[in-house]
Amino acid sequence: MASHNDFGKKGEELAAELLLKKGYKVLRRNYRYLKAEIDIIAQKGSILAVVEVKYRRSDHLQPITASVNRKKIGLLIMAADHYVQENDLDVDVRFDIITILGQPSGYKIEHLKEAFSPY
C-alpha cells in the first residue's frame, strides 16, 4: 500500500479516536455510495455526524478545509441521505470536518462542527 494511503488511514484513526473521546459512537468508516465516500459516520444522541477527515503535513499551499469543494459537498450530502434512508434513521444530520495538521509525532487536530450545510 502506498505511504499516502497509510497517512490517510492514520488520519482517520486519529479522527475516530477524537470522536470516541467526545462521546460519539462511530457507526461506519469509509461508507461508499455510488461515487461518494464518507470517511466517518458517527452518532451522539439524535445527531448523526457525517465527517470528512482532512490530514495534511502542512497547509502552506492552501487552507486545509479549502479542499472540501462544492462537488465533494454534493457527494457527501447524497451519500448521507442514502445512509439515513437505507438504515431508516430518525436523526438530525450534521456535516463536520476534522482537520489534522502535522505528523503523527506532533499534530494539531480540530473538529469543525457544522462545517457546511446541505441547503
The confidence score (pLDDT) of residue 10 equals 83
Q: CATH says 3-116 is which class?
A: alpha beta
What pLDDT does residue 37 have?
A: 96
Q: Which amino acid is at 117?
A: S
Per-residue pLDDT reduced to its tens digit, 39-54: 999 999 999 999 999 9
Low-confidence ranges of the chain (pLDDT < 50): 1
**Strand partners for 25:** 43
Query: Is the Cβ–Cβ distance between 47 and 94 less than 8 Å?
Result: yes
pTM: 0.87
